Amino acid sequence: MGTARRSRLGSIERLAPGLWFIHGQMPEHASKAPDFCDIVIYQAGRRLYLIDSSGGAAMRESIRRVLGEVGPVDVFTLINTHAHLDHICNNDLIAEVEATTKHHYLLQSGIDAAHLGAPRYFAEQFARLGAVYDPLSSYQTQRAKYRMAGLARDVLGLVFGSTRVMRWLFAFQLRKFAPVGDSRHTMEAIDAQPSQRIDIGGVGWDGWWLGANDVAVLDARCHSPGDVLVYIPEHRLLCMGDTTFPLSPTWTDSSRDRTLDVLRKSVAMIRAGAVGMLADGHGERPYRDQAESKALLEQVLDDHLAFEAALADIFATADGLTPGEVYEEFRQLCGRPVVDKYLDLEFPHSPPSLQNVMVTTLQQLGYRTSGQHRHQRFYRRIDNR
């Protein structure tokens, strides 16, 4: 499966006249290779839209090929669905586009995250997780490597501070994404403009129309605080970014509630016939019809709920569990499709560890924690007692 994805990295698929999909990549081992997102490019007359820029030389050259095929335009608009590193490394291609007017839109929270920088962002995320347990102890492969990183954090942290040391460690790890041309100076906060109610198939969103109502940018804020979805009415195409990423809430600023809400609203749009095609950040392919788009989202939604049900079953017979103990109990539930799927998806294939996802999920579901820093235990919610 990993080899097939790599072989398609940067390949261009024409979904319709004036509509292109560029295949990204999820690596076999996220510690050794970057995960680069998929890209959609859409032409509406003399207006051109690039939805995410991904990263790496293969994706960069494929964007250039499409730009060359289109030629000069009146208006070029780059939209980042959010500001995680795997979506923004080729943003600087905006400088090469021949266009009279150029725009580069994110939510303000996405711009703030981009200016914060990926090493600082992940250092802060791990510091928050570290209040509960040591996230560097959660990876199930290369355990010695991560324990050495934890030792470096603790020893050097006595002198420089653990958060600063974590920034250094992440800066070293994230070198695989280089070069990072995030083009921060061209970023515009789309939410600096007044939002409007956008109705798609009877489903209401807060969002913004661009061009001659070519594209709707929909406020999502679920996988990250900077999430947007992009809807292209001409082709009934919904671009969902990382909203479909299964291991979620991925980080402490991911929202479980908003993710479920966005998935349900997207399914409702498909059922209403307003969405025929779907593209997401890390799918192996675009989903070309209503049936398979609906099946994808319903499966992601079912998996979220089945994962939470598995956690609830664990706490139905036990209480006061560390994240590591929750993980081991989860592994014992083998035979459940969601357990097998999530164990297969976790690191090294996917950047977050499953224990991190368990911690953020339990926190957002209201499970209580108690104990010393980095050594806390989860307890059932009061209303479950």
Q: How high is the pLDDT of residue 152?
A: 94
Highest mean pLDDT among 3-7, 140-144, 289-293: 289-293
Run of H or E including 99: strand 99-106
Is the pLDDT assigned to residue 217 strictly greater than 70?
Answer: yes
Predicted confidence at residue 7, as pLDDT, reads 65
pLDDT, average across residues 283-291: 95
Half-sphere CA count of 155, side-chain side, radius 13 A: 6
CA–CA separation, 307 vs 313, rounded Å?
10
**pLDDT in the model for residue 207:** 98
45-59, 109-123, 339-353: range with lowest mean pLDDT: 339-353
pLDDT of residue 2: 39
pLDDT at position 352 is 86
Q: Which domains does the chain have, with CATH numbers?
A: 2-114+183-301 (3.60.15.10), 118-176+316-384 (no CATH)
Is residue 383 predicted with pLDDT exceeding 60?
Answer: no
Cα–Cα–Cα angle for 356, 362, 363, rounded to 5 degrees: 90
Q: What is the pLDDT of residues 298-333, one digit of tens each?
A: 999 999 999 999 999 999 999 999 999 999 999 999
The CA-atom distances, in angstroms, between 256 and each of 32, 168, 259, 364 are 29, 30, 5, 7
Check: CB of residue 300 under 8 Å from CB of residue 263: yes
Q: What is the pLDDT of residues 35-70, one digit of tens each?
A: 999 999 999 999 999 999 999 999 999 999 999 999
Of the pLDDT bands very low, low, confident and very high (cuts 50, 70, 90), residue 32 is confident
Contact 300/244 with Cβ under 8 angstroms? Answer: yes
**What is the pLDDT averaged over residues 242-262?**
96
